[in-house]
Structure 1
Amino acid sequence: MQEERLSEFELDARLARDTELVASLGLCQLRMMKDSRWPWFMLVPQRNGVSEVFELTPLDQAILTFETNTVAAALKKATGAEKTNVAAIGNIVRQLHVHIVARSEGDPNWPGPIWGFGQAESYDDAARQILIDRLTENLAS
């Protein structure tokens, strides 16, 4: 049953357009935002029809919390960020997803929110890969 649920998972088209798959964790897809202004990742629980954390089973809620904390800690360590922002807003994209963003004084719009600020800036391939490698190294440690 679990394999069947994961194989039928459908990612919202906007999330697919704006992110890149980095890894598949136990519950979530770990995805990187296509915006180089901030080290910005996203966790998407591989469950269809879920828009709120409380709609997940209690076990999935616990796994989401664990995966969120693990990625947030790894991102903070990988970037040396002063603050790691974690948010599940979903006002526009209803599919449950959790943003994990490393913030540092002096980054674009610090200390204000990142949502709706300016225009996304693409990564160059090398910088994108360096950040992914740093994050995944810290996930493994």
Structure 2
Amino acid sequence: MTLHPQLKKDCIPLGEFNLCTLLLLNDSNYPWFILLPNRENISEMHHLSADDQQQLMSESMYFSRCLEQVFQPDKINIAALGNVVPQLHVHHIARYTADASWPAPVWGAVSAVPYTKEAIVTINDQLSDWFKCNLDLDQDISFLWFEKTW
């Protein structure tokens, strides 16, 4: 699947669920991840097949539980806007009352601060540890890590 140029520029690919690629937005102001369904020419959720819609929801809920337990945020923001990047993608952002833009939306609030390599490794390890303990194959959830190129 072709990754939109803006996502390619702004994100770090971590791995793949059954349907979605998991991306880390390269902005250390927030634990901000994106689920990107691996389907060409899809811009809206209702354009997915019924099975893919259900799979996207399962992967989104699974990853939301991960965010909640790993990052312990005050709130999780989930959004699919598509105004800048028309390729269907779903933002999952762990928010804190003390974060850079609380309680406002994150978009355009502050300049992005790229992650250090060490921080990316730490996040990758935290997610990996959680996935190992919580991968429930009965729910059609599996995950394959990409080769670490960061």
Common fold by TM > 0.5: yes
1:75 aligned partner, one-letter code: L
Give the alignment partner of residue 121 of structure 2, picking from 129, 134, 137.
129
Q: How many angstroms does 1:14 deviate by? A: 0.7
> Which residue of the partner structure matches residue 61 of structure 1?
53
Alignment of 1:27-66 (within 5 A): 27-66=19-58
Alignment of 1:58-137 (within 5 A): 58-137=50-129
1:13 aligned partner, one-letter code: P
The runs of at least 4 aligned residues of structure 1 exceeding 2 Å deviation read: none
Alpha-carbon separation, structure 2, partners of 1:93 and 1:45: 13
For the Cα contact (< 8 Å) 1:22–1:30, is it kept in 2? yes
Number of aligned residues: 133
Q: How many angstroms does 1:137 deviate by? A: 2.0
* Structure 1: stretches of 5+ with no match in the other structure: 1-8
> Which residue of the partner structure matches residue 5 of structure 1?
none
Alpha-carbon separation, structure 2, partners of 1:139 and 1:83: 21
For the Cα contact (< 8 Å) 1:70–1:139, is it kept in 2? no
Which range is displaced more, 52-61 or 79-88?
Answer: 79-88
For the Cα contact (< 8 Å) 1:81–1:103, is it kept in 2? yes
* Structure 2: stretches of 5+ with no match in the other structure: 135-150
> Which residue of the partner structure matches residue 14 of structure 1?
6
Query: Relative CO higher for 1 or 2, CA cutoff 8 Å, sep ≥ 6?
Result: 2
